[in-house]
Structure 1
Amino acid sequence: MRVSFIKMHGLGNDFVVLDAREDALPDISRKMAARIADRREGIGCDQLIVLERSESAAFLMRIFNADGGEVEACGNASRAVALLHGEAATVETAGGNISLEPTAGGASVDMGSPRFDWDAIPLAYAVDTAAMPVAWEPLQQPMAVNIGNPHAVFFVDDADAIDLTALGPLIENDPLFPERINVNVASLVGENHLKLHVWERGAGLTRACGTGACATAVAAIRKAVAQSPVTVTLPGGDLTIEWKSGGTIRMTGPAAEAFRGTFEWDDYA
């Protein structure tokens, strides 16, 4: 079976999108998702995105990380999908429904409300999520936030000085995080302006992470080191995050289509 795909990216965080809203596809296994994502023997991407029919929204967006694991949310992919869809829509995800709207050169996405309760992250045991009493070498007392998926946010003097390739896997797979964790390391570089590096669970060090930018901006606002709107600079570029306590998070930034192609389903099944 010959299947069409669309290659897209948001600030260099790249996706293979399969649009199965009209013509359903067979179910995708973890092994198949990882094969498609492989950059040497597959199409290559950080996340595989599958669009399907939904009973509660315009459509369902399923998200598979590069290791094949299915996850709840992806902010950059949400902007890319908004660009592809071409109009405002409510989209179902495993992390809850989100609202998206294309803009000039990108999209604005309502990512829903952040969650801070320890069992909503989730953590292995009850702990103060505003300043968790844990540390991994120079990274100490992170704030835990769930933005449809789990994040630990560390604030440091210089985000560029932290070796996330070494510390990221240790934190991601710590028993404290039963569903693993996305690791965010940020520093304040200007008024309401953060620099951010993200180790993404199941994907590794990434050029951009939309939910990570949301989690980090929310953490900075809660800690009173920044006020909304917050500019978050990632290696791939800038995102603007708006949030007020008790409200939902709005993320705005660019997205783009790179190319389209086809592949033989059985080559990856």
Structure 2
Amino acid sequence: MGIFRKMHGLGNDFVVIDTRESPVEMTEARARAIADRHTGIGCDQLIVIGPSDRADVSMRIFNADGSEVAACGNATRCIPLFVGRDVLIETQAGLLDASLTDTGASVDMGAPRFDWAAIPLAYAMDTLAMPASWEDLPPPSCVNVGNPHVIFFVDDLDAVDTARLGALIEQDPLFPERVNVNFAQLLDPRNIRLIVWERGAGLTRACGTGACATAVAAIRRGLATGPVTVTLPGGDLVIDWAPGGTIRMTGPATSVFAGEADWESFDV
């Protein structure tokens, strides 16, 4: 039997497993089975906490479809709450510094990357205002914040078919590793409304890396000035970034309940 905790950041929910003392083999099939909301525990992402030689803990992230990804901002905010103190976290995206706040955590998410090969895109192009679009959407921006994001700034978010277009764009051949799709409406230079189609998970109540990527793209385009409040269906995140610097994300994190499970029972 293994112990887990169910946690969420603005409704983006996680099953968090601590393997620092009791290792657990995690495969794509097992992660997918655990994440299933009907026959498993149910979550948007499965988070595996382990030991690290470079930081306080390591973190692996599996989407609901079983695919492993390098970054998840909402999950990162949950880790200091899970551990019970400020922590340095080793991820595939690098070392992330996360500190507790009164309502959650504040995380240094590292520096964004803008080069087309770092997104990655299938071929070279300007990532500030891409010479590509889909249907009636305006030309987007692309940002890598540990994982790839494409951001569309639209006039009326409610008029966009986010589920259909998100699924279409995620799988577009322009994005060889697929992509997180962000639909954003600028309310004013300090406030952005955002809906995210998350790679491997679909529409989500909140996406921390999506909020980071969107705020960075807005600041880079001269549409916004940090700190920016990004309002997602699950609530607000505050994102601060200045060109040449790292991204600071602040927002809630919540522990819902703890439980025990036999991880081998999820093999399919």
Q: TM-score range by the shorter chain?
A: over 0.9
Cα RMSD, aligned residues only: 0.8
Pair 1:252 & 2:227 matched: no
Counterparts of 1:31 and 1:214, CA distance in 2 = 30
Q: Distance in 1 between matches of 2:158 and 2:245?
A: 31
Could you say which residue in structure 1 is the equivalent of 2:169?
A: 171
What is the distance in 2 between the residues matched to 1:260 and 1:245?
A: 40
1:63 deviation in Å? 0.2
| Counterpart code for 2:14 | F
Query: What SS is found at the alignment partner of 1:97?
Result: strand
- Matched residue SS, 1:246: coil
Match for 2:91: what amino acid? Answer: T
In 2: Cα distance, 1:65 partner to 1:48 partner: 6
1:137, distance to aligned residue in structure 2 (A): 1.1
Return the offset for 1:83. Answer: 1.2
1:111 paired residue number:
109
C-alpha offsets along residues 219-263 of structure 1, whole Å, 9 cap, x if unaligned? 010111110000000000000000000000000000100111111
Structure 1 residue 191, shift from structure 2 partner: 3.7
Kept in 1: contact 2:188–2:224 (CA 8 A): no
TM-score in terms of structure 2 length: 0.98
Which residue is 1:44 aligned to? 42
Shift of 1:190: 2.9
What is the CA distance between 1:90 and its match in structure 2? 1.2
Tell me the alpha carbon deviations over residues 139-187 of structure 1, each in whole angstroms, 9 at most, x when there is no partner. 2211100000000010000122211110011100000000000000001
Aligned match for 2:209, one of 169, 190, 211: 211
Q: Which amino acid aligns with 1:179?
A: E
Shift of 1:87: 1.7
What does residue 24 of structure 1 align with?
Answer: 23
Letter matched to residue 19 of structure 2: A
| Residue in structure 2 matched with residue 14 of structure 1 by the alignment | 13
Residue 126 of structure 1 corresponds to which residue in structure 2?
Answer: 124
Percentage identity across aligned positions?
A: 62
Task: Give the SS at the match of 1:169.
Answer: helix
CA distance in 2, matches of 1:22, 1:28: 15
- Between the aligned partners of 2:203 and 2:137, the Cα distance in structure 1 is 16
Q: Take 1:182 and 1:109, find their aligned partners in 2: how far apart are those partners?
A: 20
TM-score normalised according to structure 1 size = 0.98
Matched residue count: 267
Q: In the aligned structure 2, how far is the partner of 1:227 from the partner of 1:147?
A: 18
In the alignment, structure 1 residue 187 sits paired with structure 2 residue 192: no
Q: Which of 228, 247, 259 is residue 261 of structure 1 equivalent to?
A: 259
Aligned to 1:73: 71
**In 1: Cα distance, 2:73 partner to 2:116 partner:** 22
Q: Secondary structure at the match of 1:112?
A: coil
Q: CA deviation at 1:267?
A: 1.2
Who is 2:51 aligned against? Answer: 53
Counterpart of 1:158? 156
Q: Within 1, Cα distance between the matches of 2:254 and 2:136? A: 36
Q: 2:34·2:42 contact (CA, 8 Å) conserved in 1?
A: yes
- State the secondary structure of the residue aligned to 1:62: strand
Q: What's the counterpart of residue 136 of structure 1?
A: 134
Partner Cα separation in structure 2 for residue 80 and residue 134 of structure 1 = 36
Check the 8 A contact 2:77/2:104 in 1, yes or no. Answer: yes
Q: Which stretch of structure 1 is more off in the superposition, 201-210 or 181-190?
A: 181-190
Q: Secondary structure at the match of 1:77?
A: helix
What secondary structure does 1:186 align onto? Answer: strand
For residue 265 of structure 1, report the CA deviation from its aligned partner. Answer: 1.8
2:237 to 222, 239, 255: 239
Q: After TM superposition, give the deviation of residue 24 of structure 1 in Å.
A: 1.7
* Contact 2:2–2:263 under 8 Å retained in 1: yes
Give the Cα separation in 1 of the matches to 2:38 and 2:82. 26
